[in-house]
Amino acid sequence: MNLSRYLPVLKWGRHYSRQYLLGDVSAAIMVILVLIPQALAYALLAGLPAEVGLYAALLPAVLYALLGTSPVLAVGPVAIVSLMTASAIGQFAAPDPQALALTLALLSGVCLLLMGLLRLGALINFLSYPVLAGFTSASSLLIAANQLPALVGMSSQGHTFPALVMSLWQQGTDWQPATATLGGATLVGLWSIRRYGAAGLSRCGVSSRRAGLIVKLAPALAVIVGVLCVKSGLMPSVALVGAIPDPLPTLTLPPLSWPLLQQLWMPAFLIAVIGFISAIAVAQTLAMKQRQRVDPDQELIALGVANIGASFSGGYPVSGSLARSAVNYEVGAQTAAAGAFTALGLVLGLLVLTPWLAFLPKTVLAATIIVAVLSLVDVKMLITSWHFARDDFIAVAATFSLTLLFGLEAGIVTGAALSIGLFLWHTARPHIAEVGRVPGTQHFRNRYRYRVQTDPTIVMLRPDESLYFANARFLEQHLYDRVVGDAQLRHVVLLCSAVNDIDLSALNSLAAMNLRLKDLGMQLHLAEVKGPVMSRLKRSDLLDVLSGQVFLSAFEAMSHLASQPFDDHDQSRSC
């Protein structure tokens, strides 16, 4: 059982059937058609030779098929990880950037593997959705801006939006008409197919599922058209991918010098985290549609081994692709073997197609990248967060802006720190409601939001947060500000219905409040204390020295402590 936990192939492999084989092979064929142009384009985006993208799609896919828990996740080159790779290796004036990419893949894989073995999958949740949305949108714009020069036959420098814009500005009108024409036509065509293709095919009687698959194959069609344009002599002067020296990868050994590891470990860690988050989001979404589940900790292990495999097979950091995984799901992949069949089919395809890929225009690949990533820009998130929660808007806007202005690492690190900081700020200053009884019921609500009944001798406070060192003093000061100067008060009831945990600092604050209220001639009571919190309180001496009582409910506390019985027809004490 322990072995199958780390080798999921032992679970589904025992029940593999011909029906599974048909679905997996069909899915693999369709994924290959999407994968070839994407792998070539993403390698160029990473600043690497185009064939490196193909290498990164082979061994990692096989390793994930053995270790992964998702039957449809397609592992290989992806856009954001490619851009982060370009940003990381762009810091070095190295003659061989591919060697740096190998080291980056190895370090990313080791980070993922260690997190998986330590079962730290849940820690990834500390990156909030607003931060991820802002980072993804800004990264997509950076990727599109990075590909604009290749689209029109120019070169670009820099990994931030200002640097890319300045690079384009300095080159002025130094662009190639033939390249711009082919790239622009490809861009418009791909965008039109993505925007209107599915609806048009549906009107022609094609099922929505089949129409979606045909639209996803548009980049493969663009590659074929681009190659034919060059081979026929229509576009003789455009920049090409060029000859691929070896269609199949060979064993590679990443350089592991200590200074290099020191400089690359942080970018590698960020690539690992972002790659895993994007992959697990895709895997879990598709698993829910299939009524299956994926194991985040095992996914860390599988992706870690896949990246390590990429480092020894001429690739670069990899993750799970949304587009290719969706194709896997829609065609009907049944098991993770679909990924292995994809790698096998890609090998066969490369042996046949390598001579043709040399004539593939780079501008066509640039157009496919731009169309693919612009769909990830989430403008609505800024508007929604502004109306829903200003803190989320701050997190989105800050991550988006910093990523564009200062690069990927600065954006994601600052955004995560800001998100955690805002969370700590709010938990350190929790909402504390003063409640009263809704007339005719046993329900208690905020006296400043509802018309409720109160008693002048009782104040009932409900902190809407667990109590810990960061907010204990805040609660203490809030209580003192409320009770000082109120001569009628005799009882303070602390409603703990929202308190899920309490630490030693909060316990000391409760003890201090108890003594202070006792000196003022008041009693401190507790109500609606949850079981785990009560168990912790029983391990202290607070309950022994508590000046008041512990009540099961707010209604019981009010009924026992009220200076006179409540009359639901008497509104004199209602507010």
How do 319-321 and 74-76 pair as beta strands? antiparallel
DSSP-derived secondary structure letter, 41: H
- The Cα–Cα gap between 334 and 479 comes to 60
- The Cα–Cα gap between 84 and 298 comes to 24
**What pLDDT, on the 0 to 100 scale, is given for residue 416?**
84
**What pLDDT, on the 0 to 100 scale, is given for residue 27?**
92
CB 434 within 8 A of CB 482: yes
Chain centre distance of CA 559: 49
User: Which residues are CB-contacts of 167 (< 8 A; sequence separation ≥ 6)?
Assistant: 149, 155, 156, 157, 158
Q: Which amino acid, one-letter code, is at 301?
A: I
- The Cα–Cα gap between 98 and 315 comes to 8
- The Cα–Cα gap between 407 and 534 comes to 48
Query: Which has the closest alpha carbon to 417: 394, 438, 445, 440?
Result: 394
**What pLDDT, on the 0 to 100 scale, is given for residue 567?**
60
Encoded tokens for 546: 């508590």
CA angle 370, 371, 375 (to 5 degrees): 105
Query: Which has the closest alpha carbon to 403: 390, 413, 393?
Result: 413
CB 115 within 8 A of CB 121: yes
In terms of Cβ atoms closer than 10 Å to its own Cβ (0-12, 13-18, 19+), residue 526 is: buried
**What pLDDT, on the 0 to 100 scale, is given for residue 493?**
96
Residue 206: φ, ψ to 5°: -80, 135
Q: Would the CA dihedral through 324, 326, 332, 335 be positive or negative?
A: positive
Phi-psi region of 528 (alpha: psi -120 to 50; beta: other; left: phi over 0): left
CB 561 within 8 A of CB 455: yes
CA atoms within a 13 Å half-sphere pointing along the CA-CB vector of 25? 6
Query: Which has the closest alpha carbon to 28: 53, 65, 63?
Result: 65
Regarding pTM above 0.85, the answer is no
Neighbours of 393 (CB within 10 A): 19
Q: Which amino acid, one-letter code, is at 284?
A: Q
Q: Which amino acid, one-letter code, is at 354?
A: T
Residues 156-159: contacts with CB under 8 Å, at least 24 apart = 159/83, 159/86, 159/87, 159/90, 159/407, 159/408
- The Cα–Cα gap between 416 and 395 comes to 8
CA distances from 509 to 109, 470, 504, 516 (A): 46, 11, 9, 10
- The Cα–Cα gap between 52 and 77 comes to 9
Residue that has been written with the tokens 């679970």 in this structure: 11
Residue that has been written with the tokens 């591919």 in this structure: 98
Residue 532: φ, ψ to 5°: -60, -35
DSSP-derived secondary structure letter, 453: B
- The Cα–Cα gap between 242 and 375 comes to 29
- The Cα–Cα gap between 549 and 560 comes to 10
CA distances from 444 to 7, 450, 453 (A): 53, 9, 9
Q: What is the dihedral of CA 224, 230, 232, 233, to 10 degrees?
A: 160
**What pLDDT, on the 0 to 100 scale, is given for residue 354?**
86
Element (H, E) at 166: helix 161-171
- The Cα–Cα gap between 479 and 481 comes to 5
Strand, helix or coil at 446? Answer: strand
**What pLDDT, on the 0 to 100 scale, is given for residue 268?**
95
How do 458-463 and 523-527 pair as beta strands? unpaired
**What pLDDT, on the 0 to 100 scale, is given for residue 564?**
65
What is the mean pLDDT, run by run of 10 residues, along the chain of 575 residues?
78 86 92 92 92 95 95 94 91 82 97 93 78 90 90 80 84 81 93 90 86 87 92 84 84 91 93 92 86 89 97 96 90 91 93 88 92 86 87 90 90 86 90 94 93 93 95 95 91 95 95 95 96 94 94 94 67 42
Encoded tokens for 493: 């009831």
**What pLDDT, on the 0 to 100 scale, is given for residue 568?**
58
CB 335 within 8 A of CB 12: yes
Q: Which amino acid, one-letter code, is at 2?
A: N
| E strands in 62-152 | 74-76
- The Cα–Cα gap between 242 and 263 comes to 32
